[in-house]
Structure 1
Amino acid sequence: MFDNMHAALVRLRHNKAFEFFVIAVIIISALEIGAKTYDLSDTALSITHYLDVFITVFFLIEILIRFIAEEKKRDFFKSAWNVFDTAVVVISLIPINESEMALLARLIRIFRVLRMISIVPELRVLINSLMVALPRLGYVVLLMFIIFYIYAAIGSFLFNDINPVLWGNIAISMLTLFRVMTFEDWTDIQYETMDVYPMSWLFYMTFIFFTAFAFLNMVIGIVVGVMEEEHSKERNQGQPSLADIQAQIAQLSAQLERMQGADSATHHTEGANQQKNLDTSKDAKQPK
């Protein structure tokens, strides 16, 4: 009976309709959280309350289905996404009415929207790619910080008297340069300094070239490369490795040899029986 229930839960877990229904509930959960930020009538608040109870109970049932359908229960918590989903569901069970942890419980309910990532494989690939790319991006970010620091120091020394609000110290100068890098009204800053230093446009042009063009393209290139690697891993997960193929070939060859040996033994036994029958018939025909 347990095996039948386990098989049914496995089929339900991998059922596309069930996955789409889970995604729909997550979307409804996101809309319900957004609706609570408005001034709602008593009727609407009552509806959102019962809807929140339904979503919480459904997520609990869904996580139990995934846990029971897992072949090896220990492997369920080896996945970081499963741990995250379980933590969100468990903390969502905390009652939020007049509780000291009401704020925490409400915040955790907001994170239920992130469960969309664990359900949709494409989103998981994107997040995994970003996490894998972070160590490689560290050196690019460090180099970008060095460029920011150098240009901020130069800008603070040269333009402090022009506009201390933007260039008063190195920290404020770095914020101003971030504004320049994101092209947020950066021409106003440039023209202000060009009234005093006409060649200051070189300062901005070289900074934008290094940061907005060179380094950001390096970041994009690293992320895209890691995404390609992750997509290749996803495609190759379902394909057998070379060692598995060789093992299967060796197993089939051994089975074929055993079958051929069994056939040879059968033919030899049949031939011996036929010969024995012939000898018996000859002996029976000879006169005594």
Structure 2
Amino acid sequence: MIDFARLQSKFTTLRSNKAFELFVVIVIISSALLVGAKTYELSPLAITLVVWLDRLITVFFLIEISIRFLGEENKKDFFKNPWNIFDTLIVTISLIPIDNTDMALVARLVRVFRVLRMVSVIPELRLLLNSLIKAMPQLGYVILLMFIIFYIYAAIGSTLFEDINPELWGDITISLLTLFRVMTFEDWTDVMYETMTVYKLSWIYYLTFIFFTAFAFLNMVIGIVVNVLDEEHAKVRKQAAIDAHEPTIADLQQQLEEIKLLLKQQTK
């Protein structure tokens, strides 16, 4: 008779094993290399080899996701993790035999997304992505303010420089693209010198725009992301201390207050 509790314990130990995680990462990288290999012209033998390797990788992913599912104590909790849902969906679609049908393009695209499984396997990558997602509400206001600055400068540029170069300043949408080129420093001096032949002080327009966008707003974005990342790291350290039953600063402060209270009672 199968001892399911013992089997589950083995699966739990296996999925948290560093060597197993490293092997999964190697397989994911191999899967990405196979996707890249299919973009080249290959010999019939190489194509056959790539197809069989892709099938082996798909089978491995099925086994790996099964181990992770069976190693979960509460099976319902497994699907509460969005990354587990993503992994299961990618593996399930990869099993559908649609390579020789009209959906072959979809099958290839799904195999490209298998590279994202590296994020679900490596905790540090999950932390970075989660921090970026949690920073989005704050970044939204920065992006909105940046768009306002873009729009104002695009309207000014279209009004002043349209006659100089309609291809760059013909309307506000083209002006927005031109300003994006200026912000990314893609030959922006050529654009500036062209307008300076008519408006000698137009350099003020470009330098102020670059200051607001490339310097000020970019640093704001970096600051927000770094701040959220620090908060996530603090949460991870706190949770690790709780899991290890190590006292946190709050616990030590509480214990110190209890000692002070006890000493006061004894002196009385």
Please confirm whether the aligned pair reaches a TM-score higher than 0.5, indicating the same fold: yes
Aligned 8 A contact 2:99 2:107 in 1: no
The Cα of 1:87 is off from its aligned counterpart by: 0.5
Whichever residue aligns with residue 204 of structure 1, its letter is: Y
Partner of residue 70, structure 1 = 72
Instruction: Spell out, residue by residue over 1:243-267, the C-alpha distance to the aligned partner (whole angstroms, 9 max, x if none).
Output: x979xx9xxxxxxxxxxxxxxxxxx
Partner SS for 2:98? coil
CA distance in structure 2 between the aligned counterparts of 1:123 and 1:245, rounded to whole angstroms? 30
Instruction: Spell out, residue by residue over 1:12-39, the C-alpha distance to the aligned partner (whole angstroms, 9 max, x if none).
Output: 1111111111011001001111000000
Whichever residue aligns with residue 120 of structure 2, its letter is: S
Work out which of the residue numbers 211, 225, 233 in structure 2 matches 1:209: 211
Work out which of the residue numbers 190, 196, 199 in structure 2 matches 1:197: 199
**What does 1:26-175 correspond to in 2, within 5 Å?**
26-175=28-177
Instruction: Spell out, residue by residue over 1:123-176, the C-alpha distance to the aligned partner (whole angstroms, 9 max, x if none).
Output: 001100110000000110000000000000000000000000000000000000
The Cα of 1:96 is off from its aligned counterpart by: 2.6
Query: Structure 2 length as normaliser, TM-score?
Result: 0.89
Aligned 8 A contact 1:125 1:230 in 2: yes
Query: Structure 1 length as normaliser, TM-score?
Result: 0.83
Structure scoring higher RCO (CA < 8 A, sep ≥ 6) equals: 2
Partner SS for 2:241? coil
Partner of residue 234, structure 1 = 236
Instruction: Spell out, residue by residue over 1:199-252, the C-alpha distance to the aligned partner (whole angstroms, 9 max, x if none).
Output: 00000011001001101100000001011111111111122287x979xx9xxx
CA distance in structure 1 between the aligned counterparts of 2:114 and 2:100, rounded to whole angstroms? 21
Whichever residue aligns with residue 30 of structure 2, its letter is: I
Report sequence identity in percent.
66
Whichever residue aligns with residue 65 of structure 1, its letter is: I
CA distance in structure 2 between the aligned counterparts of 1:153 and 1:166, rounded to whole angstroms? 12
Unaligned ranges ≥5, structure 2: 256-268
CA distance in structure 1 between the aligned counterparts of 2:165 and 2:251, rounded to whole angstroms? 70
From the CA coordinates, give the structure whose radius of gyration is larger.
1
Partner SS for 1:176? helix
Unaligned ranges ≥5, structure 1: 250-288
CA distance in structure 1 between the aligned counterparts of 2:167 and 2:251, rounded to whole angstroms? 68
Aligned 8 A contact 1:96 1:106 in 2: no
Partner of residue 262, structure 2 = none
Whichever residue aligns with residue 166 of structure 1, its letter is: L
CA RMSD, aligned part only?
Answer: 1.5
Partner of residue 182, structure 1 = 184
Partner SS for 1:97? coil
CA distance in structure 2 between the aligned counterparts of 1:226 and 1:97, rounded to whole angstroms? 42
Aligned 8 A contact 1:166 1:176 in 2: yes
Work out which of the residue numbers 18, 30, 38 in structure 1 matches 2:20: 18
The Cα of 1:3 is off from its aligned counterpart by: 1.2
Partner SS for 1:129? helix
Whichever residue aligns with residue 200 of structure 1, its letter is: S
Instruction: Spell out, residue by residue over 1:75-115, the C-alpha distance to the aligned partner (whole angstroms, 9 max, x if none).
Output: 10111110110000000111133223221111111100000
Instruction: Spell out, residue by residue over 1:168-208, the C-alpha distance to the aligned partner (whole angstroms, 9 max, x if none).
Output: 00000000000000000000000000000000000001100
Length, aligned pairs only: 246
